[in-house]
Each structure stands twice: as C-alpha cells, then as structure tokens.
Amino acid sequence: MPERRTVALVTLGCARNEVDSEELAGRLEADGWQLVEDAAEADVAVVNTCGFVEAAKKDSVDALLEANDLKEHGRTQAVVAVGCMAERYGKELAEALPEADGVLGFDDYTQISERLQTILSGGIHAAHTPRDRRKLLPISPVERQESAASVVLPGHGPAVPEQGPGDLPDGLAPASGPRAPLRRRLDGSPVASVKLASGCDRRCSFCAIPSFRGSFISRRPGDVLNETRWLAEQGVKEIMLVSENNTSYGKDLGDIRLLESLLPELAGVDGIERVRVSYLQPAEMRPGLIDVLTSTEKVAPYFDLSFQHSAPGVLRAMRRFGDTDRFLELLETIRGKAPEAGVRSNFIVGFPGESEADLAELERFLNHARLDAIGVFGYSDEEGTEAATYENKLSEDVVAERLAHISRLAEELVSQRAEERVGETLRVLVESVDEEDGVYGRAAHQAPETDGQVLLTNGEGLDVGRMVEAKVVGTEGVDLVAEPLFQGALTRGEEAGR
C-alpha cells in the first residue's frame, strides 16, 4: 500500500479561521490525506492566513517563511497559503512571496485535495485574481439563500451525502446526520467554535473584511444544531458562536430574532455545558436578545460588544452609531438583568480627525464601563477602505502615544474589574491540568484566548472538560484565582443529586 500523503494546517487569526481550518482538514482526510500536527512532518504545510490588519498580515508572511524553511530541513515539500490574506491579495501575494508554492482562494476550498496534489506533484495552480465577494450574492438579504449554493462560504461546510458514520474516517463529521459539515477537529480542547454566519453587510470605514469575506449570509439553524451535536459527541463542552456579526443572524432567513430561539436549543444539546456568543454589534442589540443571553440556562451572560470608540464624531467617521451615554445605558440594561455578566470590547485610537476631546470622551466611557477585557489598537490605513482616503491623519508618533496611554488605562481598569469579582461564585470549565503549572479554566465572562483565565487552587482530581463551581479568592491582573467549592469538582447536575 502506498504511503499516505501527509498535511499539516497552521492557523493564524481569529476563531472563524479555526473553523475554516477544521473544514479543510475534514475535506482532506475524507479524500485520504493523513493529518499531522507538526508541519515538519508533513508533505504539505497549509498556512491559513489572516488579512485583517498589518500586524496580522506580517504574522502570516512570517509563518509562510518559517514553513518554507522546513523544505530544507524536514519532510515538507510544499507550502501553501490559504485564508483571508490569500483571498484578499491572490496573485499579488504569490508574486511578492515566491516561497509559497501555492496561493489558494476560497473558491479553491471545495477542490483543496486536488489543488494540493497538483502542487505536491510539481504542478502549478495559478493564484486567483481577487474580486469583491460582496458582489457574488444579491443585495437583498432575503434573496441570498437561494444563491448561496453557488458561492463557496468557508466554514459553512459542504452538504454531506446520505451515509452512515462508518463510511467516513473515525471522528469525522457527520456523526449526527447528513446535514452536518465535513469537519475534523484539530485539537482536543473542550471548547470549539461554530460558524453561525459568514460575511458582513456593515460598511465601517476602517474595515476591509466585507470585500473579501462577502455579504452576510446565515447558516440554517438545523445545520448549526447538527454540528453542535456532533461536537458534543467529540467531547466538546462549550461552543462559541462566531461570525463577522452575530446580531444580524437570521435576517436573510426572514427572522431577525432567530438567534433568540436557536440559543435555548443549542443549550439543550446533550453534553454541552456552555454556549457563548461572540461578535455583537451594539447598535443591533435587541431587548429580546439581551433577555435570552442573561436568563437562559447554560447560555453565558457574555457580551462581546464591538464599540470601537465612544466619541460621536469619531464613530460617525467610522460609519458607526452610538455615543458614550447610549453605550453606558446598554451596559446598565445588561447588568440590571445579570449583574455578573461579562463584557469585552475593542477600541481604535488615533483614527483620522480624532481630537484630544474625543480621546477624553473615550476615557470617560472606559472609566465608567467596567469592562472585563479591553483590546486597544492604533489606527493604520487599510488598503481599499474609505478611511484610507480621509484627510486629517494623525502622525504615527501621536497614534503610538495614544495607543500606549489608553492601553495602560485599559490594563488598570480590567485589573480593577477582576478585583470586583473577588467573592463571586463562578462556573469554571477546566481547560488545562499540569502538575507544575496547576489547573486552569475559564468562567462564563471569559472567552478563549482573549479574556483571561481562572487558576483553580486545590485542583487535585480535576480533569480537562469538567465544569466546577469555584469561589474567587484573589486576582493576578485580569486573571482570577478561585477555590473549588466541592471536593472532586462536582458538576451542577452531580450537585443536585447529592
């Protein structure tokens, strides 16, 4: 029997990219490829790139160059770029980075096995010419679903034909029915992201994402449920719903309130202990959605709100809505229903035309918002965006100074917010157990990678994937220190049966 072709996927960027990588992994394994973790042990290294901001693009290029070095020292014979940067730049990236043996766009995903085999065999697959993917679907959201079958939507997965689980490699979807996506998990984490939708209809002046991710289109609720059931069968305890804008979910399916009805169904899936929703637009928050997020068992009262700024003049220039007082009213409404709710957000400082008064207004908001996690970015021009054409640009030195100032403030404020949680009882999902480093997990107000974690003291006997009640006894910056309340880390269901 000939040796199986091996492939490794290196993923950069956001949780949406992680879902896309697992879809590619599922496609490849179903076609006979062997997945390996270490790129040095793979015939082909596939780098799933990020194309959001300059720093992310630099990281993507560095990862491609590092993978290329393996061709001299390891088994690797080819390095292929996929993902947002590859889609956004296509031929331009291929010409600027000859070290990459292939640059594949989203339209290549359905033939990923064939494309890699061609490249591995020494052939050439021409990089695509980038196009505005917003033009691939109708302008009217309600007309998009009929056209969606003709457009590649990464992370939505292909429709799998009727067949039993035994017809596919072990651990490869669909384990829950023919509508599950073809997906292979790339790690054993008890947390997994689920793609709720793709694309974005908003036109923020600083953002290029809609041009290469396309218009907003929702996945059907049944597909999301089937994928969640399959993930639960794989041992996943927490799912995080991701898209460019989750508050728009369902508008193209004729029901903008569809998320409110879907969340309880997801929370009811056997084995799922927590459902988390990310990427929420403040201007689109509805009373009904706030109610579901703050009152549904197993749905985390977690609000990843994309504020970006709070000075009204800057927000208008960003093509966004709101101001400090309206944002604070929204937070007051949320905390009036769930005082323990977690809130995080990102902010851009140094936007063209941002005045000292605008910066002071942002500081006023931050000082009153009591956010659990804050990401701060300095403005830089993004090719193809409206803001790149604006006048009144601030100097790089001024942007850097404001970034440093707001970052210091943010670090102080999130540490203060963590201290406010001392004495609270949290449900902590155990994510890592190490004899030397200790036992770490996350509470409902902490999303993976971005929002800090919880160190569990006296964590003997805890396993990864366990949900434990713990009392916060201290802080380490944004991180919390908590003590389990029950010997052996009983789950909520086990506690009820005592």
Please enumerate, by residue number, every residue annotated as part of a binding site for [4Fe-4S] cluster. 14, 50, 84, 200, 204, 207
Phi, psi angles (nearest 5°) of residue 450: -110, -25
d(CA 145, CA 9): 30
* 336 three-state secondary structure: helix
- Asked whether the bond before 174 is cis by omega within 30 degrees of 0, the reply is yes
d(CA 243, CA 15): 9
- Binding site as annotated, residues: 14, 50, 84, 200, 204, 207
| H or E, element range at 275 | strand 274-277
Amino acid at 147: S
For 150-217, give the secondary structure using H, E and C: HCCCCCCCCCCCCCCHHHCCCCCCCCCCCCCCCCCCCCCCCEEEEECEECCCCCCCCCCHHHHHCCCE
Phi, psi angles (nearest 5°) of residue 63: -65, -40
d(CA 380, CA 489): 47
Count Cβ atoms within 10 A of the Cβ of residue 118 and give its class: 0-12 exposed, 13-18 middle, 19 or more buried.
middle
